[in-house]
Structure 1
Amino acid sequence: MSAPPTTATGRARLSARTLRTDRWWLPPLATFLGLSAFVIYGLIRTFMNQWYWVPEYHYLAPFFSPCLSDTCIPGASHFLGTPFPLPSWIPPPVIVLPFVLGFRLTCYYYRKAYYRSFWVSPPACAVSEPHSRYTGETRFPLIMQNVHRYFFYAALLVALVLTYDTVIAFQGRDGGFGIGLGTILMVINVVLLWAYTLGCHSCRHLVGGRINHFSKHPVRYWMWTQVTKLNSRHMLLAWASLISVAVVDLYVMLIAGGFFADPRLIN
């Protein structure tokens, strides 16, 4: 005899805030501090609007790439030019950062991260939350999470531009080939960014979705298996790429500001 079907009538009722005895609050607290630190740094860095281009080695800070405003430092715009005229008080990153942040904000992992750490919805498993109602992602503004797949395409374009930035960073003092510490950091950053971007659920669906028989599509099946491997490490790659972007941006800022010289390995 099969068990009768169950229906949910609302949120789970907990008689106590939690019965857990472990330090369940540490992960959401660490996430809150980590994401807050990145947001604060990003805001400060964006509105500094300086020290983002090192012409000697072609280092461009990732927060300012691509630099599309006519207020960009000469040389920082690369092959894309400056198609967007902006007042001098508006920093160039405001053109591109909304698309990059949109990709991160609508990412499946980051949703879980900031829902738990900022909105405590819920803060952890088996822990009650202060919200009395739950509408999921069916109403504004959370219904906008459904555009994640479109932000994914924008993130691909930005990753391509950052790859170009990394290639031209192999620049020596005399204009020839060269490698510095900044070059290595930029390579690490772009590898992590590609791994995070390609490990996205939208990419996984793009390469392997709507297929009934993988055996009839061996190339797409191979692509799907590779993306799935990245997807299984999506949380790790999300944090690693977020940290690497901040590290490279800070490093370029310090070099461009003259705080110290870029250690050169070749030329």
Structure 2
Amino acid sequence: MSDGSHPTRHGVHAPGRAAIAAPHLRTDRWWVSPLVTALGLTAFVAYSTWRAFANSNYYTEPYVSPFYSPCLGTNCADMPLGARWPLFGDWWGLSPALLVLIFPLGFRLTCYYYRKAYYRGFWAAPPACAVPEPHAKYTGETRFPLILQNIHRYFFYFAIPVAGILTYDVVLGFRDQHGHWGHAGLGTLILLINIVLIWAYTFSCHSCRHIVGGRLKHFSRHPVRYRLWSWAGKLNTRHMQLAWASLISVAVADFYVYLVASGAFHDPRFF
């Protein structure tokens, strides 16, 4: 009790804050954005969980699902035209996707934009601008487990080689089932669009921008890093859009490979 008769108030209702009786003064449909975000992320988590544990229909020459590349278990499908490096045994019989997905998912989970998205969508911290959060305390990312968000930069280092391997998979997509070059199908186009979006999202990352141009006192003395920083800065202005576009594209790419590998759809070849 603060004065013997009234309970202690926190946040926007704390002493010294404006005495506004209404929960907020916004008149627009501010709740639409966090709701759509929550539904979109939930749909992706549900789909990716199903596909990660399915352990089937992730390779059909010359395409490999981005969820399963590189394939690091001995229980991987036979992938003569894919990145198959059995380094970790059969992983107790579990899906080999679980060995590699931890890196791109960890990169996205700790991403600055995605933090904002799921903090607002799931935890209402806060649900929207100028709408107070319902929590009595605010500790930010200073305590466990949210303090682990600071490892985002290290996940960025892992995201680079993973994107490089997915690029290798796209290059292999220009081969036919007999290994001849100069061929392409609808799957090749889908995988190509996916990797372009993944690279754009990766390079638009705040950590990337800081790594290439951060802690420099004189840009004039570092023209190359300044140019890279400028390019990363331009991509960074579209970080949210690239985050969603690449999230959708990686799911579409995986689902396409699933359809072709399961025999539900025949991959049309352009040339």
TM range (shorter): over 0.9
Cα distance change of structure 1 residues 188 and 79 upon mapping to structure 2, 3 Å threshold: closer
Please list, as runs of the form range in 1=range in 2, the aligned pairs for 1:63-212 lying within 5 A after superposition.
63-75=67-79, 78-79=82-83, 81-87=85-91, 89-176=93-180, 177-212=182-217
Once the two structures are superposed, what CA deviation does each residue of 1:187-209 show, in whole Å capped at 9, x if it has no partner?
10000000000111111011101
Once the two structures are superposed, what CA deviation does each residue of 1:134-190 show, in whole Å capped at 9, x if it has no partner?
100000000001110000001111100100010001112443221100000101000
Q: Which amino acid aligns with 2:31?
A: W
Is 2:23 aligned against 1:17? Answer: yes
Is 2:76 aligned against 1:33? Answer: no
Is 2:267 aligned against 1:262? Answer: yes
Q: Would you say the 8 A contact 1:70–1:82 is kept in 2? A: yes
Q: Where do 5+ consecutive residues of structure 2 fail to align?
A: 1-8, 14-19
Paired with 1:16 and 1:83, the residues of 2 have a C-alpha distance of 59
Q: Which amino acid aligns with 2:12?
A: A
The Cα shift of 1:260 comes to 1.4
Q: Which deviates the most, 68-77 or 91-100? A: 68-77
The Cα shift of 1:81 comes to 1.6
Paired with 2:101 and 2:230, the residues of 1 have a C-alpha distance of 31
Q: Would you say the 8 A contact 2:76–2:84 is kept in 1? A: no
Q: Where do 5+ consecutive residues of structure 1 fail to align?
A: 1-8
Paired with 1:80 and 1:71, the residues of 2 have a C-alpha distance of 10
Normalised TM-score (structure 2): 0.91
Cα distance change of structure 1 residues 91 and 52 upon mapping to structure 2, 3 Å threshold: same
Cα distance change of structure 1 residues 77 and 114 upon mapping to structure 2, 3 Å threshold: farther
Once the two structures are superposed, what CA deviation does each residue of 1:33-60 show, in whole Å capped at 9, x if it has no partner?
00000000001111111000002xx100
Paired with 1:131 and 1:228, the residues of 2 have a C-alpha distance of 34
The Cα shift of 1:97 comes to 1.1
Q: Secondary structure at the match of 1:265?
A: coil
Q: Would you say the 8 A contact 1:107–1:200 is kept in 2? A: yes
- RMSD over aligned CA atoms reads 1.6
The Cα shift of 1:78 comes to 3.6
Q: Would you say the 8 A contact 1:63–1:249 is kept in 2? A: yes
The Cα shift of 1:99 comes to 1.5
Paired with 2:100 and 2:81, the residues of 1 have a C-alpha distance of 13
The Cα shift of 1:69 comes to 0.4
Aligned counterpart in structure 2 of residue 52 of structure 1, from 58, 75, 83: 58
Q: Which amino acid aligns with 2:142?
A: T
Q: Secondary structure at the match of 2:27?
A: coil
Give the count of matched residue pairs: 256
Paired with 1:166 and 1:222, the residues of 2 have a C-alpha distance of 28
The Cα shift of 1:86 comes to 2.4
Paired with 2:204 and 2:109, the residues of 1 have a C-alpha distance of 15
The Cα shift of 1:12 comes to 2.6
Normalised TM-score (structure 1): 0.92
Q: Would you say the 8 A contact 1:66–1:77 is kept in 2? A: no
Paired with 2:32 and 2:80, the residues of 1 have a C-alpha distance of 41
Q: Which residue pairs with 1:248 in the alignment?
A: 253
Q: Which amino acid aligns with 1:42?
A: S
